[in-house]
Chain A
Amino acid sequence: MEKAVPRTLESLTPLVGLVREFLEREHLSADLAFDMDLVIEELFTNLVRHSRGAGEGSDVQVELTHLPGEVRVRLKASEPSPFDPTTAPRVNVSLPIEQRRAGGLGIQFVRELCREFRYEWRDGVGTTLVVMGVSD
């Protein structure tokens, strides 16, 4: 299942709808919705916030695939140069609150919830792929 949405925060609502439709069609537990929403939001908002000027206003293609024991989420977006979220530094969540910044937490959540997290860039298109384990 796939959907192209504008690269704006207003697209989060239709993406939530896409996840519900996908889970129902694939007969997967609705309990997966929270974690899938979280992973997709973090990857998508990363594209919205950090890729300004790199395809701003263009669509992001979101693809959801169910394979035995796993769900694959792929986001494809126009990017003049590579912007690899997998290289984002890890956040030290043990620091005192005064020294903490919120930046980077979203990618931390993606790492927490996904068994694979990959990125590739080719011909001006960046593709992020994550794999989440599921019970069929």
Chain B
Amino acid sequence: MLELKLLDEGTVQVKGRLDAAEADRALATLNQVPGPLTLDCGGLEYISSAGISVIMQTLKRLTAHGSRLTLIGLQPRVRNVFVYAGLDKVLDIR
């Protein structure tokens, strides 16, 4: 189960599991945020390549419009997946 919650302007709290079953819904939600966008991932317990694809598409959309994407609070195992994908070098992860 994945929960996405708009906390305030430009910040989305992500909780639960961002897997292939939830990826389409996650992308549709994030596409509604014009940016700059901060994803508070403290409650993100799991992510797969489908979830990484959502983040990549969001990053591409925002950078194409001169905006930016920031990820905060990544749990170590979730962060590892970003490292496997090589995204730790191109994303603003704090």
Residues of A near any B CB (own CB < 8 A): 9-10, 12-13, 16, 34-35, 37-38, 41-42, 45, 48, 93-94, 96-98, 100, 102, 105-106, 108-109, 112
CB of B85 within 8 A of CB of A108, answer yes
Residues of B near any A CB (own CB < 8 A): 17, 19-21, 46, 48-50, 52-53, 56-57, 59-60, 63, 77, 81, 84-87, 89-90
Say what secondary structure dominates the interface of chain A: helix
CB of A97 within 8 A of CB of B48, answer no
A10 to B21, CA, bound (A): 7
CB-defined contacts of A10 to chain B, threshold 8 Å: 21
A45 to B21, CA, bound (A): 9
CB of A105 within 8 A of CB of B49, answer yes
| 22 contacting pairs across A/B (C-beta < 8 A) | A9-B20, A9-B21, A12-B21, A16-B17, A34-B77, A37-B46, A38-B81, A41-B19, A41-B20, A41-B48, A41-B50, A42-B49, A45-B50, A94-B89, A97-B63, A98-B63, A105-B52, A105-B53, A105-B84, A106-B49, A106-B50, A108-B85
CB-defined contacts of B56 to chain A, threshold 8 Å: 97, 100, 102
20 A-B pairs besides A12-B19, A105-B53, A109-B48 with CB distance below 8 A are A9-B21, A12-B21, A35-B77, A38-B46, A45-B50, A48-B20, A93-B84, A93-B86, A94-B89, A97-B56, A98-B63, A100-B56, A102-B53, A102-B57, A105-B85, A106-B49, A106-B50, A108-B84, A108-B85, A109-B85
Shortest beta-carbon distance from A133 to chain B in Å: 16
